[in-house]
Amino acid sequence: MNYEKIAMSLKALAEPNRLKIVDLLSCGTKCACDLLEHFDFSQPALSHHMKVLEKAEIIIVEKKGTWNYYTLSEDFAKEFQSMCMTLFSHNEDTCVSGTDKKCNCSN
């Protein structure tokens, strides 16, 4: 499991506006003006959020003329879902220690 990649993704998503952007993009590609309708911040603020999401490979940016179009990365969505399932599941195959034994601590 790539913990650094998971941490980078979680850090990018650890902001309510970026979570909302990802939610909006889960419905399909949107241009910046469509996204801005859902927020009470400026276009430069949106641009900052989009750069963070793009750097984390969560979204794909396509420039058409003067407009940027944003799409949720299908690869990211699949990988992230799989990483979360693995991270929060409990079985012998995914256990880091490889064992389910209890320690002998006196706690």
Domain count, the chain: 1
Q: Is 44 a domain residue?
A: yes
With residue 87 as reference, give the H or E element that holds it.
helix 74-88
Its domain, for residue 73, covers 3-88
Q: Is 64 a domain residue?
A: yes
Q: Is 107 a domain residue?
A: no
What separation, in Å, do the N-terminal and C-terminal C-alpha atoms of the chain show?
30
Q: Is 97 a domain residue?
A: no
Q: Which CATH number does the domain housing residue 74 bear?
A: 1.10.10.10
pLDDT tens-digit profile of 6-64?
Answer: 899 999 999 999 999 999 999 999 999 999 999 999 999 999 999 999 999 999 999 99
* Furthest CA-CA distance within the chain: 66
Q: Is 96 a domain residue?
A: no
Q: Is 100 a domain residue?
A: no
pLDDT tens-digit profile of 72-99?
Answer: 999 999 998 988 888 888 766 656 665 5
Q: Is 15 a domain residue?
A: yes
